[in-house]
C-alpha cells in the first residue's frame, strides 16, 4: 500500500483529540468567552473534517489494496507473560463504513452546532467534548483489539455523560448524564466478563484472531461456550445501544443539547452495540441461542419503544423512543444473522435520524427552546426549509418507498421472516406492526409540529425565525442522504466479509408479498396520522378518552423507571445506609470501644485493690506465699 | 518451754497495750533463748538474750514509754482483715508444717545432738566466714548513717 | 513426733504469727515487733538445723540476722516516730494516703 | 586465698567503700556537702571502670571460697549497673544538697555489687539487706511530703517480710541440703522432696517480693509515689536489676521445668497484665512508672524460662535498656516547687510547647518502655521472648506479648499529654537542673547506642 | 557499568536522605517555618530524583536484588542490614518518593502550627516507609513497619481535626495489635528456620526456604495476615481507617492512603503468601471472599457517606480489595494488575485527598451537602476533580483502569478453570467483584454530582469575596499526579516489565509447596 501514510488510522483518531485538547485548554484557561467563539468553532470543526478527509483517503487505500484489511500497530500497551496487549488499528469494510459515517455525520453536526450553540456561554467546552467524543468513537470503530474497542466504548460513555450534563447548572441534566453513565457501566460489566472469558481462552483480545478462531472452530475456541460469550457481550450492547432492559437512559439523555442527541444518541454512539455484534459475528454465528435471544430482545424493544413513542408530547422524546425502536430493528436483524442488513440500517438510520434531530433542533432553536409539540403547529410556512427536510426524513423512517429507510427496514423485515438462522413469522409480525406504528407516530409528529393551526403563545410566535445557513445547509445535506442513502448497497458490499444468512427455500416466493405489505403499512400509518391529526382536535381527544388506561400506561413509559428505582436503587441505598453503615459498621466499631472501656474498668478495679492499707498488702503476700507453695507441690 | 513461747507469741497479737505486747515478745524471746540453751548452742542463747532482750527490746520499751500515745478506745486493736488473716495464717502454718512433716529429708531422721562449742563456731566464723564479718561491719556503718539521716530528717520535719 | 519436727513447727508458727500480726494489728510498733517475731521464728529453725548438722553455718546466719534485725529496728523506730509526729497516732490505718 | 586476688576481685566494692569512708570523714569534718556529690560520682565511676576493666581483662577469681567469686560476666554486670548509677547521682543534685544521699547510695550500691557474685546465702542475704536498708532512709530523705514516711514504713515492713521469707526458705534449704552455698539451689529445684520444694519456692517468692511481682507488688506503687524522683529512679531501675541479678545467680546453669516453671510463667504473666492495666488510670507519674516497673519485672522473670546460658545476657540487656530509658524520662522531668506538681501527669500537658527537648526525651523513653521499635526496649523484649520461644514456651511468649500490648496505651497516653493536649505551665515550673540534663544526655546517648548497635552491646555482655 | 557500583550507595542515600533532612531541620530550622518547609521539600525532591535514577538503572531482566547492601548488624541473632531493590518494591519505592514532595507542597499553607516539627515527622515517616519497602531482612522490615506508627500517631494527633486524639489512638492501637502477633510469628518463624536448617537468619531469601508443616504455616500466616489485613485494611478490620482519614490533616491522609495502606498489600505479596504457600492456598477462599466483601462493602458505604473525606476513605477500602483479588489469583496478569493497582490507588487517592483538602482549606467543612456547582465556581479545580474521579472509577486511559482491568482479568482467568473443575466460589466472587465497577461509578459520580453540578453553593463564598481557584502551587502538584495517572494508564508496559520477574517469582513461591517431606500437606492439589 504505497499511498498509505505510516499512521493514517492513528491520525484519523488522534485529530479530534488534538481538537479536544486545544478547545479544552482554551475553554478552561480563558473561560470560553464569546471573543474566541470563532476560534473554538474553527478548531472544533477543522479537525473532524480533516479526519473525514483522511478516512476517505484510507478508504481509497483499502480499495487499492483489494479490500484486504489494513492493520496498523501503534504501540504495545502491555506484555504480560506471553500474552501481549497491542494498541493497533484495524481497517476493513466494516470499520470503513462506520468510520465514514462517524466522521462524515460527525463533521456536519459540528458545523451545525456552530450555529446551534451560538452565544452559549461555554461554547468552547461544547466543542471540546464533541471532539473528545469523536476521538473515542473512532477508537471504538478502528480498534483491532477488544481492549482498544473497550477504551473507546467507555470513552464515548464519558463523552455522552459530559454532554448530557452539559448544562449542569440544572441538576436534572447532570442527573440524566449520571444515569446514562451508570446504566452503561452495568452493560460494561457484562462486556468485561465476556472479554475476560475470551482472554482466558485465547490469551489475546485481537478481534480478527478471535473471530477467525471461532469460524474455523479451532482448539481454543472450544474452551469457552460461544453462547455465553455472546450473551455477555450482548449485555454490553444492550447498555450502549439502549435495548431492554437497559434502554432507560436514552430518553433522559435528551437533556443534552440537540446536536448531541443527533450525533451521539441517534447516529453513532448508540449503534456501537450493533457494531460490536457485527464485529464479533464470528462468535454469534456459532451461537444460535445467543442470536435467538438477541432477535427476541430486539423485536420486543422495537415494539415497546414504538408504543411509547405513540403518545409522547416532547418532540425530542418522540425521536428518542423512535431511536430505541429502530435500534431494536437493527438487533432483530443481528439476531437473525443479517449482519450486513443491520449495518445498512445503521447507516440509513444515521442519516435520517440525524436529520430529524437536527430538524427538531432547528425547530427548538426557532421557538427559543420550546419542545412541547402541543404548543407548536403551523410552522410549515414559517420555517419551510426545516419543514421540508424534516418531512423527507420522516418519510424515510416511515418506510415510504424509494427513500433510505424503506430499503433497510424492508430487508430487516424480510430476513426476520425468512432467514434460515432464526427467522420466524411471528418476529416478522411484531416487526411489521412496529413499522406501522413507526409510520403513525412519525407523521403524527410531523403534523402536530408543522401542519394545522398554530398553538404557540404570541411572543414565541413573534420570534420564530428560520435557522442560519450553517444549520439549514446541514439539514438539506442530510435530507438528501436520507432520500438517496438507500441506494448504497451496503449489505452486498459487506457480504464479501460477512455473508448474509441463507433464506428458507419454501419462503422465497413470499418476498414480493411482504414488500407490498410493508409499503401498505407505511402508507396506512401515514393515513391514520393524517386522519387523526389532520382533522379537528376533538378526534384524538375522543380516542384518548376511549383508551385512557392504555394512554396512561404508555405516557408513563410502562413506569419502568419507577420500577427500577423501587426495586434496585432504593433498596441498595437503604441496605448500604441502614444495614451496613448504621448497622454492621457501627457494630464493629462499638465492639472495639467496648473492649477499650473494659480495659478502663478493669484498670479501675485494680487500682481499688491498691487500697493503701498495709494490712491488705501483707495479706496478699501471705496468701501469695500459701498459694505459690501449694501450687509448687502439684508434682510432688 | 516451746509451748510457753508459742502462747506468749499469741498473746502478743491479742493484748492491746503496746507495752504488754512488748513484754509478751520478751517472754517469747527468753523462751527461745532457753530452747537454744537446751539445744546446746549456749552462745546463741546468750546472744539472743543479750542482743534482743538486752538491746532491742529495751530500746523498744523505751520508745513505747516515750510516746504515750493514747489510742482511741474501743476495738481499734484489729484491722478489718482479722478473719481472712487468720484463715491465711492457718493455711500458712499448715503449709509449713506439712512441708516439714511430709518431708523425707534425712536430717529429720538424724539423731542430732552433734552440738558444737563456741570455739568451733568462732573459729569457723573468723576463718571461713570472715568476709561476712567484714560485710557486717560495712552494713552497720551504713545502718548508722541511715539512722542518722532519718533522725536528721525528722528533726527537719520538726523544726 | 520427734523434737526436730516440733521445733520446726514452732518456728513456722512463730513466723506465720509474725506475718499475721502485720496483717491484723494496727499499731505500728506492734507491727515492728511482729517482724521481730518472724525473724525469731526463722532463727529457731536455723539453730535447730545447724545444731542437727553440727556445723556453724546456720549459727553464723543467725548471728547475721541478729545484726540485721537490730539495725532495722534502729532504722524503723525513727520512722515510726516521724509517723506519729504527723498523725498523732500509731494506727497504721490512718496512713493510707498513698493508694490507687 | 591470696590477698592480691581479694583486692582485685573486690576492687569495685573497695572503691565504693573508700568513697563512703571519704564522705563520712568529710561529713564529720563538716565541710563539702557541695562536693559530696562529686566524690560519690568519682567513686562510682572509678569502681565502674574497675569492673569493666577487670571483666575486659577476663579476670575471674574466688578470693573467699564458697562465699564470693567473680567472673568476667559478673564483673560486666556490676559495671553495667554501676554505670547506671551515674545518672541517678547526677539527677540527685537538684534534690539533695547534703552528703547522706551519696553515702547511702554508695552503700546500697555496695550491696548491689555483692549480689551477683555471692556464692553463699549468707553473702546474698547481707547483699539484699545492704541493698534495701539504705533505701528505706533514702525514701524519706528528700522529705517533701508527709507521705514519704508512710512510703518508707510500708517498704520497710514488706521488705522485712521479704527478708524473713528469704531466710525461712534458706533455712529450710539448709536443713534439707545441709549447705548454705548458692550452688545448692539449682539441684534443689529438681528435688522431689517437699520441704526442699517449699524452701525453693520461699526463696523465689522473696525475690518476687523484692522485685515487685504480682501479688507481692503492692509496696511498689506507694513507695515510688512517696519517694523523690532520684530515689524512685534508683528503685525502679537499679534495685530491681540487682534483685534480678541475684535471681540469675541463684538459677545459674539450671533450666527450670515443672511446677516451678509454671510459677515463673504465671506470676510474671499476671504481673505484666496487672501492671499494664493498672497504669492506665494513674495521675502520678511515679506511680505510673511503678506499675510499668511491675510489668517489666514480669518480662524480666520471663527470661528465666529461657535457656540458662543465654539468661544473664538477656536479663542484663533488658535491665540496661529498660533502666537507661527509664532514667532518661526521670532525668529530664521538669522541676516544680511542690513535689505533687512535679509528680503529676497533668503537669506534663502540652509540655512540648514549653520544653520540646524534655517532651521529646520523655516520649522516646515511653516508646522504648512500651517496647516499640526502633527503641532499645524493643530489642530487649525481642531477646527475652526469643529465648522463651526457643525454650518451647511459645504459648506463654504470645500471651506475654499480648500483655505487653496492653501497656502501649498508657505510654501513648503520656505522649498524648505531652504533644496533643493543651496545657499551661505551673508558675514554678523550671526545666530540669543542669546536672540532671547532663544525666539526660548521657541516657540519651546510651539509648541511641543501644538502639543503633545492639549487636555490639550484646557482644560485650 | 559504573552505575552498578554506584547503585548501593545511591540506594542507601535514598533511604537515609530523610534523616539528613531531619537533622537539618533540627539544626538550622528549629524555629523557622519557611526554612523548614524549604528544607523538607528540597530533601524530598532530591530523594525523588534519586529514586527515578535508580528506577531507570534498574535492570528488569536481572533476577535477584539490585543495588543491594548487606552488612551484619546483630550478628548474634542473624540480623543484618540488608536492603535492596527488586521487582516487588521498585514501583512502590518510586511511588513513595514521588508522593514525598507532593505531600510537603500540599501541606505548604494548610499546616500552620509547629511547622518544623511537622516536617520532622513527615521526613521520619518517609524514612520509615522507604525503609519498610527496601528492607530485605525481616527484622529490619519489622523495625520500619513499627516505626511508621509513631510519626503518623503524632501527625494525626497534633495537626488533626476535632476528634484527632481518639482517631489516632484508635489507629495506633489497632495496627499495633496486629504487629504484636506478627512479632510472635516472626520470632517463631526464625526459630523454626534455625531448628530445621541451622541457619540463623532473617533475610527474606533464607526465610523463603523454610519448611513448615501446614498447621504451623496456618497459625503463622494467621498472625501475619491479621497484621497486614488491618493495614490494608480488609473488612471487617477497617473501622480505624475512616476515623483516621477524617481526622488526619490533608498531608496525613495523603500519606496514609498513598503509601501506608500499600504496606499491607505489599506485606501480603512479599511475606504473607510466599512465606507460607501451603497455608496461603488454604486461606485463599477466605481471603478472596474478604477481598470481594471489601470491594462491595467499601463501595456501598462510600455510596451513603455525607462526609467527603469518608467517601474517599471507604473508596480506598474498595480499591485495595482489587489488589488483594489480583494477588490471590496467582495469575501473572492478576499479580501485575495488583501491583499497578497499588501504585494507581496511591496516585488517585492522593489526588482526591489533596483536592478535598484544598476545598476544606477554603470552606472549612467536610459536609458534602454544603457544596454544589463548584464547576461553575472553580473550573480548574473541577477539571482536576473530574479527572481523578474518573481515574478512581477506573475509566480507560487512566491508571485506575490498568490496575482494575488486569487484576479482575487475573481473578477471572484463575476462576474459570476452577469453575470447570466444579469449584464455583472463585467464579462467583470474580463476577461480584466486577459489579464493583458499577458501584464505583455510582458513588464517585454521586459525589461529583452534588459537588460540582447544580446551583452554586459553598461556605465562605460571597459575591464580594469569591472562592479563589487553584493557585499555581496547587495546580502544579495536581498536574504532576495527573501526568502520572495518565502515564500509567496509557503506557504501563515499562512499569510492568520492571515487575514482571518479581511477579513470576511470587507465582512460583506461592504455587510450590514447602511443607517438610512426609507431612500430609506435602502433596499440592
Interface contacts B/C by beta carbons within 8 Å: 217
**Rounded mean pLDDT of A538-555?**
84
**Rounded mean pLDDT of E10-18?**
95
Partner-chain contact E146 D420, CB within 8 Å: no
pLDDT higher than threshold 50 for residue E523: no
pLDDT on residue E127: 97
Which residues from chain B sit within 8 angstroms of residue A625, using beta carbons?
Answer: 92, 95
**Rounded mean pLDDT of E452-459?**
90
- What single-letter DSSP state applies at residue A559? G
Residue with cell 586476688: D5
Question: Per DSSP, what are the bridge partners of residue D120?
Answer: D181
The total of other beta-carbon atoms located within 10 Å of residue D392's CB is 12
ipTM, 2 decimals?
Answer: 0.92
What's the pLDDT band for B113 if we cut at 50, 70, 90?
low
pLDDT tens digit at each of 100 positions of chain C: 577 888 889 999 999 999 999 888 888 888 888 998 999 999 999 998 888 887 888 888 998 998 899 898 888 988 888 888 877 777 777 777 888 7
**Rounded mean pLDDT of E167-182?**
93
Residue with cell 470513552: A155
Report the mean per-residue pLDDT for chain E. 92
pLDDT on residue B77: 66
The three-state DSSP-derived secondary structure of chain B is CHHHHHHHHHHHHHCCCHHHHHHHHHHHHHHHHHHHHHHCCHHHHHHHHHHHHHHHHHHHHHHHHHCCCCCCCCCCCECCCHHHHHHHHHHHHHHHHHHHHCCCCHHHHCCCCCCCCHHHHHHHHHHCCHHHHHHHHHHHHHHHHHHHHHHHHHHHHHC
What number of CA atoms fall less than 13 Å from residue A309's CA on the CB side?
31
Handedness of CA A323, A328, A329, A334 (dihedral sign): positive
Q: Which three cell numbers stand for residue E320?
A: 485495595
% of chain A exceeding 70 in pLDDT: 97
| D73-84 burial code (b ≥16 CB/10 A, e <16) | bbbbbbbbbbbb
Residues 6+ away with beta carbon under 8 Å from A393: A351, A352, A353, A355, A356, A359, A478, A479, A482
pLDDT on residue A35: 54
Separation between Cα atoms, residue E491 and residue E173, nearest integer Å: 41
Partner-chain contact D408 E153, CB within 8 Å: no
Flag the least confident range among A87-91, D101-105, D317-321, D429-433. Answer: D429-433
| Radius of gyration, alpha carbons of chain B | 20
What's the pLDDT band for B5 if we cut at 50, 70, 90?
confident
Tell me if chain A has a CB within 8 Å of the CB of B95: yes
Contact predicate A308/A254, CB 8 Å: no
pLDDT on residue A491: 87
In this complex, the residue of A154, A174, A197 whose CB is nearest that of residue E396 is A154
Contact predicate E130/E18, CB 8 Å: yes
pLDDT higher than threshold 90 for residue B57: no
The end-to-end CA distance of chain A, in Å, is 100
Separation between Cα atoms, residue E182 and residue B87, nearest integer Å: 46
In this complex, the residue of E300, E304, E442 whose CB is nearest that of residue A182 is E442
Partner-chain contact B95 A630, CB within 8 Å: yes
CA nearest to D360 within chain E: E117
E93-107: pLDDT as tens digits: 999 999 999 999 999
Contact predicate A126/A24, CB 8 Å: no
Q: If contacts are CB pairs under 8 Å, which of residues 58-77 in chain A contact chain E?
A: 75-77
Which residues from chain E sit within 8 angstroms of residue D376, using beta carbons?
Answer: none
Separation between Cα atoms, residue A60 and residue A65, nearest integer Å: 8
pLDDT higher than threshold 50 for residue A225: yes
pLDDT higher than threshold 70 for residue A2: no
Among E363, E394, C9, smallest CA distance to A192 is for E394
In this complex, the residue of C22, C23, C96 whose CB is nearest that of residue A611 is C96
The total of other beta-carbon atoms located within 10 Å of residue A368's CB is 11
Dihedral of the CA atoms D44, D46, D49, D55 (nearest 10)? -90
Residue with cell 537507661: D324
What's the pLDDT band for B71 if we cut at 50, 70, 90?
low
> Looking at chain A, which subunits does it touch, using at least 3 CB pairs closer than 8 Å as the criterion?
B, C, D, E
Partner-chain contact D121 C79, CB within 8 Å: no
Tell me if chain C has a CB within 8 Å of the CB of A603: no
Interface contacts A/E by beta carbons within 8 Å: 127
A608-633: pLDDT as tens digits: 888 888 899 999 999 999 999 998 88
pLDDT higher than threshold 80 for residue E518: no
pLDDT on residue E2: 44
Amino acid at each position: 500500500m504505497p499511498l498509505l501514510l505510516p499512521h493514517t488510522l492513528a491520525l484519523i483518531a488522534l485529530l479530534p483529540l488534538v481538537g479536544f485538547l486545544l478547545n479544552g485548554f482554551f475553554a478552561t484557561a480563558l473561560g470560553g468567552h464569546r471573543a474566541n467563539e470563532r476560534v473554538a468553532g474553527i478548531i472544533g470543526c477543522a479537525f473532524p473534517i480533516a479526519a473525514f478527509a483522511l478516512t476517505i483517503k484510507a478508504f481509497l487505500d483499502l480499495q487499492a489494496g483489494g479490500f484486504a484489511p489494513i492493520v496498523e500497530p501503534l504501540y504495545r500497551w502491555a506484555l504480560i507473560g506471553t500474552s501481549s496487549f497491542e494498541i493497533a488499528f484495524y481497517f476493513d469494510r466494516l470499520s470503513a463504513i462506520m468510520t465514514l459515517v462517524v466522521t462524515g455525520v460527525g463533521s456536519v453536526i459540528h458545523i451545525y452546532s456552530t450555529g446551534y450553540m451560538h452565544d452559549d456561554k461555554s461554547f468552547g467546552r461544547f466543542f471540546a467534548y464533541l471532539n473528545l467524543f469523536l476521538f473515542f468513537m473512532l477508537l471504538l470503530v478502528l480498534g483491532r483489539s477488544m481492549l482498544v474497542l473497550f477504551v473507546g466504548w467507555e470513552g464515548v460513555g464519558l463523552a455522552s455523560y459530559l454532554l448530557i450534563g452539559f448544562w449542569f447548572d440544572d441538576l436534572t441534566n447532570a442527573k440524566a448524564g449520571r444515569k446514562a453513565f451508570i446504566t452503561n457501566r452495568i452493560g460494561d460489566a457484562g462486556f468485561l466478563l465476556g472479554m475476560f472469558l475470551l482472554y482466558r481462552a485465547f490469551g489475546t483480545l485481537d478481534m480478527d484472531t478471535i473471530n477467525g478462531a471461532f469460524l474455523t472452530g479451532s482448539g481454543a475456541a472450544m474452551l469457552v461456550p460461544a453462547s455465553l460469550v455472546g450473551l455477555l457481550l450482548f449485555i454490553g450492547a444492550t447498555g450502549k445501544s439502549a435495548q431492554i432492559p437497559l434502554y432507560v437512559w436514552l430518553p433522559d439523555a435528551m437533556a443534552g443539547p440537540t446536536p448531541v442527541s443527533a450525533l451521539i444518541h441517534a447516529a453513532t454512539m448508540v449503534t456501537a452495540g450493533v457494531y460490536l455484534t457485527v464485529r464479533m459475528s464470528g462468535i454469534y454465528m456459532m451461537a444460535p441461542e445467543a442470536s435467538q435471544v438477541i432477535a427476541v430482545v430486539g423485536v420486543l424493544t422495537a415494539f415497546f419503544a414504538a408504543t411509547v413513542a405513540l403518545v409522547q408530547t416532547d418532540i425530542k422524546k418522540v425521536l428518542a423512543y423512535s431511536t430505541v425502536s429502530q435500534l431494536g430493528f437493527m438487533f432483530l436483524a443481528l439476531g437473525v444473522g443479517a449482519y450486513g442488513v443491520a449495518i445498512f440500517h445503521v447507516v440509513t438510520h444515521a442519516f435520517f435520524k440525524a436529520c430529524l434531530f437536527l430538524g427538531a433542533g432547528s425547530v427548538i432553536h426557532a421557538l427559543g427552546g420550546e419542545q412541547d409539540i402541543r404548543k407548536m403547529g403551523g410552522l410549515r410556512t414559517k420555517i419551510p426549509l426545516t419543514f421540508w427536510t424534516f418531512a423527507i426524513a420522516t418519510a424515510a423512517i416511515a418506510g415510504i418507498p424509494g427513500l433510505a429507510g424503506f430499503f433497510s427496514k424492508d430487508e430487516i423485515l424480510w430476513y426476520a421472516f425468512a432467514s434460515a438462522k432464526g427467522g420466524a413469522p411471528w418476529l416478522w409480525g411484531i416487526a411489521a406492526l412496529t413499522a406501522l406504528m413507526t409510520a403513525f407516530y412519525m407523521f403524527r409528529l410531523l403534523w402536530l409540529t408543522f401542519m394545522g393551526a398554530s398553538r404557540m403563545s404570541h411572543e414565541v410566535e413573534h420570534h420564530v425565525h428560520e435557522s442560519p445557513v450553517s444549520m439549514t445547509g446541514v439539514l438539506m445535506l442530510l435530507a438528501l442522504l436520507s432520500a438517496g442513502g438507500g441506494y448504497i448497497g451496503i449489505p452486498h458490499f459487506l457480504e464479501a466479509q460477512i455473508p448474509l444468512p441463507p433464506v428458507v427455500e419454501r419462503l422465497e416466493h413470499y418476498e414480493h408479498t411482504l414488500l407490498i405489505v410493508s409499503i401498505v403499512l407505511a402508507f396506512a400509518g401515514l393515513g391514520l396520522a393524517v386522519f387523526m391529526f389532520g382533522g379537528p382536535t376533538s378526534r384524538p381527544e375522543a380516542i384518548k378518552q376511549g383508551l385512557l388506561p392504555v394512554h396512561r400506561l404508555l405516557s408513563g413509559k410502562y413506569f419502568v423507571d419507577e420500577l427500577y428505582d423501587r426495586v434496585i436503587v432504593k433498596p441498595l441505598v437503604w441496605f448500604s445506609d441502614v444495614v451496613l453503615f448504621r448497622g454492621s459498621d457501627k457494630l464493629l466499631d462499638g465492639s472495639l470501644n467496648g473492649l477499650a472501656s473494659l480495659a478502663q474498668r478493669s484498670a479501675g478495679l485494680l487500682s481499688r485493690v491498691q487500697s493503701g492499707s498495709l494490712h491488705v498488702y501483707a495479706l496478699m503476700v501471705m496468701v501469695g506465699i500459701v498459694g505459690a507453695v501449694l501450687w509448687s507441690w502439684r508434682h510432688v | 518451754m516451746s509451748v510457753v513461747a508459742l502462747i506468749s507469741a499469741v498473746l502478743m497479737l491479742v493484748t492491746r497495750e503496746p507495752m504488754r505486747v512488748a513484754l509478751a515478745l520478751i517472754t517469747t524471746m527468753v523462751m527461745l533463748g532457753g530452747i537454744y540453751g537446751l539445744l546446746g548452742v549456749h552462745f546463741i542463747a546468750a546472744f539472743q538474750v543479750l542482743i534482743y532482750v538486752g538491746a532491742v527490746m529495751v530500746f523498744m520499751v523505751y520508745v513505747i514509754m516515750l510516746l504515750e500515745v493514747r489510742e482511741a478506745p474501743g476495738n481499734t486493736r484489729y484491722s478489718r482483715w482479722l478473719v481472712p488473716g487468720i484463715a491465711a495464717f492457718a493455711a500458712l502454718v499448715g503449709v509449713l508444717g506439712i512441708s516439714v512433716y511430709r518431708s523425707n529429708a534425712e536430717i529429720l531422721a538424724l539423731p542430732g545432738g552433734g552440738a558444737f562449742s563456741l570455739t568451733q563456731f568462732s573459729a569457723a566464723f573468723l576463718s571461713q566466714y570472715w568476709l561476712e564479718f567484714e560485710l557486717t561491719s560495712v552494713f552497720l556503718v551504713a545502718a548508722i548513717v541511715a539512722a542518722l539521716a532519718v533522725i536528721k530528717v525528722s528533726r527537719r520535719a520538726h523544726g | 513426733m520427734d523434737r526436730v519436727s516440733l521445733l520446726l513447727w514452732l518456728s513456722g508458727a512463730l513466723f506465720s504469727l509474725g506475718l499475721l500480726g502485720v496483717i491484723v494489728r494496727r499499731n505500728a510498733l506492734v507491727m515492728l515487733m511482729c517482724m521481730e517475731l518472724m525473724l525469731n521464728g526463722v532463727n529457731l529453725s536455723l539453730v535447730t538445723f545447724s545444731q542437727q548438722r553440727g556445723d556453724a553455718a546456720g549459727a553464723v546466719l543467725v548471728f547475721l540476722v541478729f545484726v540485721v534485725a537490730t539495725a532495722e529496728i534502729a532504722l524503723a523506730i525513727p520512722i515510726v516516730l516521724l509517723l506519729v509526729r504527723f498523725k498523732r497516732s500509731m494506727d497504721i490505718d490512718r496512713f493510707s494516703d498513698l493508694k490507687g | 586465698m591470696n590477698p592480691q586476688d581479694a583486692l582485685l576481685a573486690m576492687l569495685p566494692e573497695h572503691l565504693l567503700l573508700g568513697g563512703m569512708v571519704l564522705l563520712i570523714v568529710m561529713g564529720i569534718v563538716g565541710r563539702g556537702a557541695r562536693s559530696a556529690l562529686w566524690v560519690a560520682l568519682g567513686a562510682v565511676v572509678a569502681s565502674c571502670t574497675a569492673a569493666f576493666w577487670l571483666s575486659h581483662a577476663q579476670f575471674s577469681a574466688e578470693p573467699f571460697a564458697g562465699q564470693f567469686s567473680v567472673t568476667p560476666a559478673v564483673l560486666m554486670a556490676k559495671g553495667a549497673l554501676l554505670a547506671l548509677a551515674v545518672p541517678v547521682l547526677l539527677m540527685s543534685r537538684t534534690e539533695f544538697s547534703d552528703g547522706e544521699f551519696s553515702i547511702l547510695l554508695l552503700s546500697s550500691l555496695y550491696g548491689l555489687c555483692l549480689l551477683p557474685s555471692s556464692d553463699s546465702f549468707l553473702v546474698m542475704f547481707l547483699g539484699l539487706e545492704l541493698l534495701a536498708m539504705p533505701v528505706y532512709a533514702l525514701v524519706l530523705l528528700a522529705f517533701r511530703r508527709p507521705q514519704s514516711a508512710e512510703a518508707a514504713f510500708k517498704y520497710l515492713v514488706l521488705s522485712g517480710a521479704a527478708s524473713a521469707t528469704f531466710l525461712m526458705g534458706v533455712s529450710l534449704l539448709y536443713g534439707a541440703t545441709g549447705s548454705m552455698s548458692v550452688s545448692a539451689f539449682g539441684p534443689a529445684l529438681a528435688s522431689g522432696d517437699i520441704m526442699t520444694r517449699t524452701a525453693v519456692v520461699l526463696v523465689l517468692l522473696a525475690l518476687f517480693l523484692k522485685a515487685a511481682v504480682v501479688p507481692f507488688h503492692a509496696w511498689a506503687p506507694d513507695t515510688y509515689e512517696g519517694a523523690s524522683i532520684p530515689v524512685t529512679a534508683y528503685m525502679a531501675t537499679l534495685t530491681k536489676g540487682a534483685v534480678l541479678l541475684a535471681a540469675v545467680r541463684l538459677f545459674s546453669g539450671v533450666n527450670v521445668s515443672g511446677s516451678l516453671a509454671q510459677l515463673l510463667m504465671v506470676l510474671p504473666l499476671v504481673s505484666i497484665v496487672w501492671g499494664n492495666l493498672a497504669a492506665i488510670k494513674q495521675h502520678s507519674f511515679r506511680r505510673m512508672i511503678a506499675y510499668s516497673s511491675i510489668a517489666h519485672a514480669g518480662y524480666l522473670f520471663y527470661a528465666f524460662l529461657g535457656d540458662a546460658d543465654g539468661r544473664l545476657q538477656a536479663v542484663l540487656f533488658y535491665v540496661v535498656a529498660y533502666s537507661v530509658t527509664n532514667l532518661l524520662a526521670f532525668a529530664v522531668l521538669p522541676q516544680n516547687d511542690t513535689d505533687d506538681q512535679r509528680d503529676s501527669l497533668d503537669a506534663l500537658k502540652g509540655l512540648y510547647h514549653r520544653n520540646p527537648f524534655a517532651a521529646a526525651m520523655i516520649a522516646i523513653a515511653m516508646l522504648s518502655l512500651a517496647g516499640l521499635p526502633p527503641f532499645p526496649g524493643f530489642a530487649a523484649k525481642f531477646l527475652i521472648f526469643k529465648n522463651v520461644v526457643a525454650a518451647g514456651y511459645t504459648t506463654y511468649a504470645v500471651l506475654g506479648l499480648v500483655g505487653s500490648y496492653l501497656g502501649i496505651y498508657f505510654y501513648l497516653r503520656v505522649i498524648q499529654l505531652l504533644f496533643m493536649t493543651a496545657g499551661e505551665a505551673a508558675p514554678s515550673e523550671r526545666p530540669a537542673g543542669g546536672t540532671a540534663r547532663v544525666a539526660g544526655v548521657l541516657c540519651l546517648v546510651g539509648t541511641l547506642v543501644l538502639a543503633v548497635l545492639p549487636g555490639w552491646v550484646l557482644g560485650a555482655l | 557499568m559504573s552505575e552498578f557500583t554506584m547503585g548501593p550507595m545511591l540506594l542507601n542515600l535514598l533511604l537515609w536522605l530523610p534523616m539528613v533532612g531531619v537533622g537539618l531541620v533540627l539544626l538550622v530550622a528549629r524555629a523557622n517555618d519557611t526554612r523548614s518547609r524549604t528544607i523538607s521539600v528540597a530533601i524530598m525532591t532530591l530523594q525523588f530524583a534519586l529514586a527515578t535514577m535508580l528506577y531507570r538503572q534498574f535492570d528488569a531482566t536481572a533476577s535477584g536484588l539490585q543495588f543491594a547492601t548487606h552488612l551484619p548488624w546483630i550478628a548474634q541473632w542473624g540480623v543484618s542490614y540488608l536492603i535492596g531493590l527488586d521487582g516487588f518494591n521498585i514501583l512502590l519505592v518510586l511511588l513513595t518518593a514521588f508522593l514525598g514532595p507532593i505531600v510537603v507542597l500540599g501541606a505548604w499553607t494548610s499546616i500552620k502550627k509547629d511547622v518544623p516539627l511537622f516536617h520532622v515527622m513527615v521526613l521520619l515517616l518517609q524514612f520509615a516507609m522507604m525503609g519498610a519497602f527496601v528492607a530485605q531482612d525481616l527484622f529490619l522490615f519489622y523495625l520500619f513497619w513499627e516505626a511508621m506508627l509513631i510519626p503518623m500517631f503524632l501527625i494525626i494527633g497534633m495537626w488533626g481535626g476535632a476528634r484527632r486524639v481518639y482517631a489516632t489512638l484508635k489507629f495506633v492501637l489497632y495496627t499495633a495489635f496486629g504487629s504484636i502477633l506478627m512479632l510472635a510469628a516472626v520470632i517463631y518463624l526464625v526459630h523454626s528456620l534455625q531448628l530445621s536448617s541451622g541457619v540463623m537468619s532473617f533475610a527474606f531469601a533464607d526465610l523463603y526456604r523454610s519448611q513448615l508443616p501446614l498447621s504451623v504455616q496456618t497459625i503463622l500466616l494467621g498472625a501475619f495476615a491479621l497484621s497486614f489485613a488491618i493495614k490494608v485494611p480488609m473488612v471487617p478490620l477497617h473501622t480505624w481507617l475512616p476515623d483516621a482519614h477524617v481526622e488526619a490533616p490533608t498531608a496525613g491522609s495523603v500519606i496514609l492512603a498513598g503509601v501506608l495502606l500499600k504496606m499491607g498489600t505489599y506485606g501480603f505479596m512479599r511475606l504473607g503468601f510466599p512465606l507460607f504457600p501451603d497455608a496461603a492456598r488454604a486461606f485463599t477462599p477466605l481471603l478472596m471472599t474478604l477481598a470481594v466483601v471489601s470491594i462491595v462493602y467499601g463501595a456501598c458505604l462510600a455510596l451513603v457517606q455525607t462526609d467527603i473525606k469518608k467517601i474517599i476513605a471507604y473508596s480506598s477500602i474498595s480499591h485495595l480489595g482489587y489488589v488483594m483479588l489480583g494477588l490471590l489469583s496467582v495469575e501473572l496478569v492478576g499479580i501485575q494488575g495488583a501491583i499497578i493497582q497499588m501504585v494507581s490507588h496511591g496516585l488517585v487517592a492522593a489526588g482526591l485527598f489533596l483536592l478535598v483538602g484544598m476545598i476544606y482549606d477554603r470552606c472549612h467543612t467536610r459536609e458534602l451537602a454544603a457544596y454544589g456547582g463548584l464547576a461553575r465556581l472553580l473550573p480548574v479545580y473541577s477539571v482536576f476533580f473530574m479527572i481523578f474521579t474518573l481515574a478512581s472509577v477506573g475509566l480507560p486511559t487512566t491508571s485506575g483502569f490498568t490496575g482494575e482491568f488486569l487484576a479482575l482479568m487475573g481473578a477471572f482467568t484463575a476462576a474459570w478453570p476452577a469453575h470447570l473443575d466444579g469449584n464455583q466460589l472463585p467464579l462467583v466472587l470474580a463476577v461480584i467483584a466486577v459489579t464493583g465497577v458499577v458501584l464505583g461509578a455510582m458513588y464517585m459520580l454521586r459525589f461529583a454530582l452534588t459537588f460540582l453540578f447544580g446551583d452554586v453553593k459553598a461556605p465562605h463564598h460571597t459575591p464580594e469575596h469569591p472562592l479563589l481557584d487553584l493557585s499555581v502551587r496547587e495546580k502544579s502538584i495536581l498536574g504532576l499526579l495527573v501526568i502520572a495517572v495518565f502515564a500509567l494508564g496509557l503506557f504501563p508496559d515499562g512499569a510492568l516489565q520492571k515487575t514482571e520477574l518479581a511477579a513470576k517469582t511470587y507465582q512460583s513461591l506461592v504455587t510450590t509447596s514447602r511443607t517438610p517431606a512426609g507431612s500430609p500437606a506435602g502433596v499440592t492439589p
